[in-house]
Amino acid sequence: MIKRISIVLTLFILHACTQPEPDRTLGLISENGMVVSANPLATQVGVEILEAGGTAFDAAIAVKYMLAVTYPIAGNIGGGGFIIYRTADGERGALDFRETAPGLAHRDMYLDEEGEVVFGKSQLGHLAAGVPGTVAGMDEIYQRFGTLPFADLIQPAIDVARDGYVNSQFQAEQLNRFVSVIEQANTITPDLVRDEPWEEGDVITFEDLAKTLERIRDFGRDGFYKGETARLIVEEMERGGGIISYQDLENYQAVWREPVEVEYRGHRVTSMPPSSSGGVVLAQLLLGSEAFDFADMGHNTAESIHIMTELKRRAYADRATHLGDKDFVDVPINELLNPEYIEQRNSTIQPDTATPSSEIKEGEVERIESFETTHFSVVDQFGNAVSVTTTVNSFFGNKVMVAGAGFFLNNEMDDFSIKPGFPNQFGLVGGEANAIEPGKRMLSSMTPTIVEKDDDLYMVLGTPGGSTIITNVYQVILNVIDHGMTMQEAVDARKIHAQWLPDEIVLERGVISSEIRQQLEEKGHSLREINQIGRFQAIMKRADGTLEGAADTTRTGDSTALGH
């Protein structure tokens, strides 16, 4: 039995570390396994599983369930996500546990009688929820790869849910930020809504969630998709006007898929296929980048930012037109990644002039913002690696906590194309391929990724950030391969983002000088600053065989790396 996890966490526990190289910034170094996640308690339980002899797959399950307790912003059992894995013997694969549209969903469900989008209907409240996939995903991983008793993997999360954990400053700020809208969305006010503000150091407990996790412990996926938990979900839907049914829950299945793979400067990059757009768009960006010498251009210069932006606009335009759930539509992955197509698509890039998005494909959209997802990376002492990105979409999903069950539901229905040409909350425009259909998975930008070098594990990486996820992963890969950064340096480096629409470059505050800004504006680019892009959790296998865990501590959050 895995020892009961302590509420009070010592953040600097590690068993093997080396001194930083001169003039280089390194993450945590470990000789054996490594876990990097958005929450210190989740990271710790993952390391405890590894120390008990578990694999990266065992640890990933334990981390995921702990995040469901300690990171309600995005860690969840009411949402879904994706897994990319690489076993110690080199097998690579992908698991899609993305949410699905309920059986009563239809393509015009968020439009009024005039055919116009009803603002907020796909984002806030019960009707915004897709059928959750997380529990089914963890069950699939356990059935195929689990080695320790499942009860040992989920029990730490049950204990913390019941006994409580200490609130961080970051989480207190987010709870206070959203408490009023959470109260508005719920038919029965959850315990998280209280009169006084949440503060750092408050102890948070989730008694109802503990009972839900116990049912999963005792009955596996049936403890969520059938029985008491299913009853609580359906009753919540009935009270709030949602449409998820018993049949929707019972019929949900996670899907094993062939990952998207591409070579970039001698490295094999493995990422997520549709229903995520992440792997295809990332692959297009990397294939397009082969024609440009980013090392010679320099990191985040006007020249390199311009070229990256041009590549991104074309790839995101293809995303809007061609990508959707491959179980429902024919996604032309091979054609989109054909070198001749990539060359033709990028032949119009001019070194000194921005290409207006209207010339790439017509459309209109307002702004891009980053919303909440969470990612974690795990490598074990045996050489297995797991990259996991999960979400409830917005912060706290649709803001509805299932009464009696203790978890928030997602608002992933907003990731469908709710009307052709109309942007979702991330500014992403979709077409017919991503239209709403019962049982269909909505298109995602999540991009869990594994990189190999010389047929050996090299990087395990991913990040939250809505539409910025793909470009963030792309930049970290370039930072390491083209610019020679350590994993921590690549993660810490300020990022930029661009997509097809809106026609602008989004800059993380402090990323460029006023001189570079002027140079980009002279090329015809419109620029806008935001405070933060992404929150990476990554691992690199170094030349000496040690692991570098890079937790993103330079941006707001509680990211933590621990090794053993």
298-333: burial string, b at 16+ Cβ within 10 Å, e else:
ebbbbbbbbbbbbbbbbbbbbbbbbbbbbebbebeb
Residues belonging to the active site? 373
Q: Taking a C-beta distance cutoff of 8 angstroms, is the pair 463, 537 a contact?
A: yes
377 strand-pairing partners? 36, 387
203 strand-pairing partners? 166
Residue 428's pLDDT is what?
66
Sheet of 255-257: strand order equals 255-257, 92-97, 80-86, 385-391, 374-379, 34-37, 560-563
Residue 502: asked if its preceding bond is cis (omega within 30°), the reply is yes
CA angle 101, 335, 312 (to 5 degrees): 75
* Nearest Cα residue to 493 out of 472, 465, 468, 462: 472
Phi first, then psi: give them for residue 529, nearest 5 degrees. -100, 140
Tell me the C-alpha distance between 85 and 432, whole Å.
31
Tell me the C-alpha distance between 496 and 517, whole Å.
12
SS3 30: strand
Q: Taking a C-beta distance cutoff of 8 angstroms, is the pair 197, 176 a contact?
A: yes
Tokens 């999960």, residue located: 390
Question: Where are any strands of DSSP class E within 187-237?
Answer: 203-204
Two tokens at 184? 């508005």
What is 120-150 written as a DSSP string? TTTTSSGGGPPBP-HHHHHHHHHHHH--S-H
Phi first, then psi: give them for residue 488, nearest 5 degrees. -65, -40
What is 338-400 written as a DSSP string? -HHHHHHHHTT-BTTBPPPHHHHS------------EEEEEE-TTS-EEEEEEE-SSTTTTS-
Two tokens at 466? 């809505």
Question: Where are any strands of DSSP class E within 153-240?
Answer: 165-166, 203-204
How, if at all, do strands 527-530 and 505-508 pair? parallel
The class that CATH gives domain 257-370+446-535 is mainly alpha
289: Cβ contacts below 8 Å, ≥ 6 apart: 264, 308, 311, 478, 482
Q: Domain coordinates of the chain in residue numbers?
A: 37-96+114-256+379-411, 257-370+446-535
Tokens 């054996």, residue located: 32
Tens place of pLDDT per residue across the chain (564 aa): 444 444 334 433 333 344 445 689 999 999 999 999 999 999 999 999 999 999 999 999 999 999 999 999 999 999 999 999 999 999 999 999 999 999 999 999 999 999 999 989 999 999 999 999 999 999 999 999 999 999 999 999 999 999 999 999 999 999 999 999 999 999 999 999 999 999 999 999 999 999 999 999 999 999 999 999 999 999 999 999 999 999 999 999 999 999 999 999 999 999 999 999 999 999 999 999 999 999 999 999 999 999 999 999 999 988 988 899 999 999 999 999 999 999 999 999 999 999 998 888 644 444 444 456 999 999 999 999 999 999 999 999 999 999 999 999 999 999 998 886 677 666 666 678 899 999 999 999 999 999 999 999 999 999 999 889 999 999 999 999 999 999 999 999 999 999 988 889 999 999 999 999 999 999 999 999 999 999 999 999 999 999 999 999 999 899 999 998
Tell me the C-alpha distance between 184 and 459, whole Å.
42
Tell me the C-alpha distance between 469 and 462, whole Å.
8
355-376: burial string, b at 16+ Cβ within 10 Å, e else:
bebeebbebebeebebbbbbbb
For the chain, give the longest Cα–Cα distance. 66
Residue 539's pLDDT is what?
98
Distances (CA, A) of 107 to 157, 433, 442: 38, 12, 12
Q: Taking a C-beta distance cutoff of 8 angstroms, is the pair 366, 427 a contact?
A: yes
